[in-house]
Amino acid sequence: MIGNKHLVLDLSVILDLWLKPESSRATEEIFACAAEHGTCLWVSAASLPTLEFIAVRRFKEKGVNADGAARDLAKRLIVNLLGQVKVLSNKGFEQADVYLHAHEFEDAQIAASARCLPAGRVRLVSTDASFDALGELPVYPAEQALEWMQSTTGSAANELNFIDLATQQAALRPQIERNIETVLRHGQYIMGPEVKQLEEKLATYVGVKHCITASSGTDTLLIAMMALGIGRGDEIITTPFTFVATGEMIALLGATPVFVDIDPKTYNIDPTRIEAAITARTKAIMPVSLYGQCADMDAINAIANKHGLPVIEDAAQSFGATYKGKKSCALSTIGSTSFFPSKPLGGYGDGGALFTDDDDLAKAMREIRVHGQDRRYHHPRIGINGRLDTLQAAVVLAKMERFNWEVEERHKVGDGYTAMLASRCQGIVTPYIEPYNTSVYAQYSILVANRDNVAKRLNEKGIPTAVHYPVPLNQQPAYRSVGGGSATPISDEISRRVMSLPMGPDLTSSQQQAIVEVLNGSINA
Ligand SMILES: *Cc1c(COP(=O)(O)O)cnc(C)c1O
């Protein structure tokens, strides 16, 4: 667990560490066991010049005589320090406003820089009792900070979010700021260099030839189907148990979504029911890799091949998952994912990406993304404005730096839930993951009998829940008359019982234990 709590170290404690070993035991201890207690250590950029200035002066007073030697020593110590702490910048906050109320400008700068960290989970460590943090954050001496760090108070257990994006943001803050700042400097807001960098990085990660980023995981589905020439009168076979975008883009193109019922264990489209739904008008199969677990793509591809149909994997929830050792998005004609903030690889706004090994489809999708143009003001096909913003690409690039770690944590958290629930809670059906799959648990969704009551009890105890999805697409008012296909009793039944628990790479095991405890009580109440 990284970054559930945050300590901003004032230069006074750093100087003690360097100059007065006798009074810096607690600070040493903070450095030694911060990682173990899920604590991020920070130094404000505002402290660094003063830190160097004072350190050099003190080293000279202590007999490090030559000017160069004292400077070298200070530099070495600062470089070493920067290997252990992250630097907080305070750009963007209204300095003048802070100064108006400040007694001490440097203190005010430090307080301003701490504003980007999750309030309530931040303490400033200082030896200076009169440090004026302008009421922005509590100021602790090192001993008290150490105690706070080692205790469970102030940990995220008190403020459980359905998806905790703040911890990830704090962990990646310097990378995110650097990437955004770079875009603001070069100013290429549309199709800037970060877009290409991200596409290369994602194509390598997934293991396909082409990645085409786009404006959302909805637009990627639209672009994919436009590239395949899907339109009026065509039929696309898909699942009713999904987010609306899947069926929506089919209908928007004037095609008919043909809803095929789901597998009762994985809730993904049931491949054994697909063939019966194929007609002369069928133009593609669009499975969804729900909750972060891939559909049975080998079985789906085999049927598609037999009938000469392309397959689009709606992998909006499964980026980072694997199917028989291959990555989601690399499993079919086209893979489509989303960077919606709460998805496994989320940005800070809308975005998405398409993946394919097919050169012609890649070219078509690239052109459709930019108004169907192959060169400036020349339009061989009809397209859309479907580009990913450069700023969004910059954010997703920063998120990639932690993504492998996050996928590992998602496995641990998801599997951890399943183990705890299996041993503690009767009457709950935990997610079934096929032995050849690894899920990224975009959602951790269970089945319960009395969902509304259970959710109400959990919510009363401060545990947020959600339902993905309460109404299958073929039962939605707008789709009842649009969709084809037979009855989907399994999808109907699952949508009545399914419920999602808080999930994410930064959910701690103590948070999970607390959730499972309350859930256990709620089921049996
Ligand atoms: C989120 C999601 C989408 C749409 O992605 P956006 O980026 O929000 O447009 C499509 N399909 C599924 C299954 C999703 O979960």
270 and 349 in one domain?
A: yes
Q: Which atom of ligand 1 is nearest to the CA of 288?
A: 13
C-beta separation of 249 from 277 below 8 A = no
Average pLDDT over residues 30-42: 91
146 and 240 in one domain?
A: no
Has residue 500 got a pLDDT over 60? yes
140 and 196 in one domain?
A: no
How many percent of the chain have pLDDT more than 70?
95
| Residue 269 per-residue DSSP state | B
Q: Which atom of ligand 1 is nearest to the CA of 290?
A: 13
pLDDT: which is higher, 247 or 105 = 247
Q: What is the pLDDT of residue 129?
A: 86
283 and 136 in one domain?
A: no
Confidence of residue 1 (pLDDT cuts 50, 70, 90): very low
Has residue 161 got a pLDDT over 90? no
Q: What is the pLDDT of residue 68?
A: 87
189 and 126 in one domain?
A: no
C-beta separation of 510 from 420 below 8 A = no
Q: Which atom of ligand 1 is nearest to the CA of 220?
A: 9
What's the CA-to-centroid distance between 93 and ligand 1, angstroms?
34
For the ranges 13-22, 306-315, 489-498, the lowest mean pLDDT is seen at 13-22
Q: Which of 396, 427, 452 is the last residue of a domain?
A: 396
Q: Which residues of 424-450 are buried (b: 16+ CB within 10 A; e: fewer)?
A: ebeebbbbebbeebbbbbbbbbbbbee
362 and 415 in one domain?
A: no
Question: Which residue owns the Cα nearest ligand 1 atom 2?
Answer: 316
Closest CA relative to residue 31, chosen from 16, 50, 49: 16
Confidence of residue 93 (pLDDT cuts 50, 70, 90): low
What token pair was written down for 226?
């436009």
Has residue 437 got a pLDDT over 90? yes
Q: What is the pLDDT of residue 193?
A: 98
What's the CA-to-centroid distance between 460 and ligand 1, angstroms?
29
CB atoms within 10 A of CB 97: 11
Q: What is the pLDDT of residue 362?
A: 98
| Cα-Cα-Cα-Cα dihedral sign, residues 338, 341, 345, 348 | positive
Could you read off the pLDDT of 283-330 as tens digits, one per residue? 999 999 999 999 999 999 999 999 999 999 999 999 999 999 999 999
For the ranges 35-44, 336-345, 490-499, 500-509, the lowest mean pLDDT is seen at 35-44
Q: Which atom of ligand 1 is nearest to the CA of 317?
A: 15
Could you read off the pLDDT of 450-491 as tens digits, one per residue? 999 999 999 999 999 999 999 999 999 999 888 777 799 999
- 454 vs 460: CA distance, rounded Å: 10
178 and 135 in one domain?
A: no
Instruction: State how many domains the chain has.
Output: 3
Q: Which atom of ligand 1 is nearest to the CA of 339?
A: 7
Pick from 220, 243, 249, 503 the residue to mutate for probing ligand 1's pocket: most ligand atoms within 8 Å of its CB: 243
What's the CA-to-centroid distance between 140 and ligand 1, angstroms?
44
Residue listed under structure tokens 């969704």: 445
320 and 379 in one domain?
A: yes
Residue 254 belongs to a domain: yes
Residues lining ligand 1, Cβ inside 6 A: 216-218, 242-243, 245-246, 288, 314, 316-317, 338, 340, 350, 352
| Cα-Cα-Cα-Cα dihedral sign, residues 414, 415, 416, 421 | positive
Give the CATH number, domain containing residue 376. 3.40.640.10
328 and 289 in one domain?
A: yes
Question: Which residue owns the Cα nearest ligand 1 atom 10?
Answer: 245
198 and 102 in one domain?
A: no
Q: What is the pLDDT of residue 480?
A: 86
What's the CA-to-centroid distance between 331 and ligand 1, angstroms?
18
Has residue 3 got a pLDDT over 70? no
304 Cβ contact list (under 8 Å, min separation 6): 285, 310, 311, 332, 333
Residue 166 belongs to a domain: no
- 486 vs 474: CA distance, rounded Å: 10
Structural domain for 424, as ranges: 404-524
Q: Which of 351, 370, 396 is the last residue of a domain?
A: 396
Residue 164 belongs to a domain: no
Residue 268 belongs to a domain: yes
Q: Which residues of 284-306 are buried (b: 16+ CB within 10 A; e: fewer)?
A: bbbbbbbbbbbbbbeebbebbee
* E strand or H helix that includes residue 96: helix 95-101
* Distances in whole angstroms, Cα of residue 448 to Cα of each of 102, 200, 444, 498: 55, 42, 13, 7
Has residue 395 got a pLDDT over 50? yes
Residue 165 belongs to a domain: no
Residue listed under structure tokens 């990830």: 168
Question: Which residue owns the Cα nearest ligand 1 atom 7?
Answer: 217
307 and 211 in one domain?
A: yes
> How high does pLDDT run on average in the chain?
93
Has residue 110 got a pLDDT over 80? yes
Q: Which of 136, 159, 182 is the last residue of a domain?
A: 159
Average pLDDT over residues 437-456: 97
Could you read off the pLDDT of 63-73 as tens digits, one per residue? 887 768 999 99
What's the CA-to-centroid distance between 442 and ligand 1, angstroms?
11
Confidence of residue 99 (pLDDT cuts 50, 70, 90): low
Residue 505 belongs to a domain: yes
What's the CA-to-centroid distance between 352 and ligand 1, angstroms?
9
Has residue 95 got a pLDDT over 80? no
What's the CA-to-centroid distance between 337 and ligand 1, angstroms?
7
Give the CATH number, domain containing residue 104. 3.40.50.1010
Q: Which residues of 175-192 are buried (b: 16+ CB within 10 A; e: fewer)?
A: bbbebbeebeeeeeeebb
For the ranges 73-77, 113-117, 474-478, the lowest mean pLDDT is seen at 113-117
Confidence of residue 426 (pLDDT cuts 50, 70, 90): confident
Has residue 159 got a pLDDT over 80? no
What's the CA-to-centroid distance between 28 and ligand 1, angstroms?
47
Query: 359-369 vs 219-227: helix axis angle to the nearest 10?
Result: 130
Could you read off the pLDDT of 178-187 as tens digits, one per residue? 999 999 999 9
Average pLDDT over residues 6-35: 93
240 Cβ contact list (under 8 Å, min separation 6): 247, 259, 260, 261, 262, 472, 473, 474, 475, 483, 485, 488, 491
Give the CATH number, domain containing residue 454. 3.90.1150.10
Could you read off the pLDDT of 186-240 as tens digits, one per residue? 999 999 999 999 999 999 999 999 999 999 999 999 999 999 999 999 999 999 9
260 and 371 in one domain?
A: yes
Query: What is the phi-psi region of residue 340: left when phi exceeds 0, alpha when psi lies from -120 to 50, beta otherwise?
Result: beta
Pick from 246, 289, 443 the residue to mutate for probing ligand 1's pocket: most ligand atoms within 8 Å of its CB: 246
Residue 63 belongs to a domain: yes
What's the CA-to-centroid distance between 240 and ligand 1, angstroms?
14
Has residue 98 got a pLDDT over 80? no
Q: What is the reported pTM?
A: 0.93
